[in-house]
Amino acid sequence: MPRTLREVVFVDGVRTPFGKAGDKGIYAQTRADDLVIRCIRELIRRNPQLPKDRVGEVAIAATTQIGDQGLTLGRLASLLAGLPNTTPGYSIDRMCAGAMTAVTTAASSIAFGAIDIAVAGGVEHMGRHPMGEGIDPNPRIVSERIVDQTALVMGKTAENLHDRFPQLTKARSDAYAVGSQNKLQAAYAAGKIQPDLVSVATRHKDLGFGLATADEPPRPGTTIEDLGLLKTPFRAHGNVTAGNSAGLNDGATACLLASEEVAAELGLTAKMRLVSYAFVGVEPEVMGIGPVPATEKALASAGLTIEDIGLFELNEAFAVQVLAFLDHFGIADDDPRVNEYGGAIATGHPLASSGVRLMTQLARQFEEHPEVRFGLTSMCIGIGMGGTVIWENPHHADYVPSADFSARKA
């Protein structure tokens, strides 16, 4: 039977405030699965016109799939969030791009017609489950020189990126990091972050009960002089520090995806339309370069160029990784189109959850910038990969809903 792929839209996205990993963090005694369950419940609450039984799939990512992040988390979270027991679910792992992959995988099912609506997201409790906990990498990957040993330590791959591109200096990385902190502080002051945060009730053995309502990692007021005093833990006299990198964090995200026609049928607002996506592999030793070829591939698939992109949400695993992307495409370090609300250096990066944070922030920026037609979300991925998703702004004058487009063709 001939099939026509359907357009997929991003309807809504939410996240918990991100916390600092460790015994003193706000989520130290909070279960990982409860964080993502809270996000799913909030999506359902914010979209009352959506019948729960119309959700066809729940895809939830986690990098460390053990303990309260294991056992087919998408299915368990679906049940605990109050969706019907007829709603299936599954887990995803593509390290930092877990939630991004949950979105593209679920979106592909929608486009194919297997389902109409999906929930996709991710969670990482790095305080409870540090990256790499319980794993046993095959020693042949190093002994047979498939990768260098530095490929297995993300901070060392960032130092390698500095080596590969000597123009990406520590001074530039520190300046970029300060800019990220300042942009997030300004976004909070303007009330741009809060609409998509879901409060989380917390319990701490020392601090008692609480309510998480804002991100814990940001350091407003950080200066370049402050960053210059920090140690370089991955290499003596190196370039990568805690100040120009994302931290170790806890948090969760979730979003609602739908066929554009079904969204219109149910009265769900389309905040973005999926244009194209791409994942690529790169040398694991310089995994931070991954967003460059991923973006080139996604642009080629869409028939676009970098000049067509008006907004960028780039995951700031390390400042040097973002700078490598900007240099490649001839974009200034302080270009206002890039990470308008700040990025992971300030906000935090709970690994598998971060992809949906990028998308949710891009959707907000599309509302503020109807003059921008296309934007992208992109991130580097551990063990040498990159991922990019390109989105179209429904507020742009040239946007044509798929139902209207079909009617015009007829």
Catalytic, out of 125, 129, 162, 349:
349
Catalytic, out of 129, 162, 255, 380:
380
- What does the alpha-carbon distance between residue 52 and residue 44 come to, in Å, rounded to a whole number? 8
| 96 has catalytic annotation | yes
H-helix segments, 58-198 = 73-80, 98-112, 140-143, 154-164, 170-189
H-helix segments, 20-62 = 32-46
| 125 has catalytic annotation | no
Q: What share of the chain is helix, strand, coil (3-state, %, to 5)?
A: 40, 20, 40
Q: What are the distances in angstroms from CA 328 to CA 50, 185, 208?
A: 42, 28, 49
Contact in structure between 40 and 77 (CB atoms under 8 Å): yes
CA torsion 111-115-117-118 (nearest 10°) is -90
- What does the alpha-carbon distance between residue 89 and residue 76 come to, in Å, rounded to a whole number? 8
| 380 has catalytic annotation | yes
SS3 139: coil
Catalytic, out of 39, 96, 129, 162:
96
Q: Which residues contact 303 (CB under 8 A, 6 or more apart)?
A: none
Contact in structure between 65 and 22 (CB atoms under 8 Å): no
Question: Which residue, 30, 38, 17, 22, is CA-closest to 67?
Answer: 30
Q: What are the distances in angstroms from CA 80 to CA 85, 98, 147?
A: 10, 21, 41
Question: Which residue, 260, 278, 257, is CA-closest to 58?
Answer: 257
* Per-position DSSP letters for 211-272, written without gaps between them: EE-S-SS--TT--HHHHHTS--TTSTT-S--STTB---EEEEEEEEEEEHHHHHHHT----E
Q: Which residues are catalytic?
A: 96, 349, 380
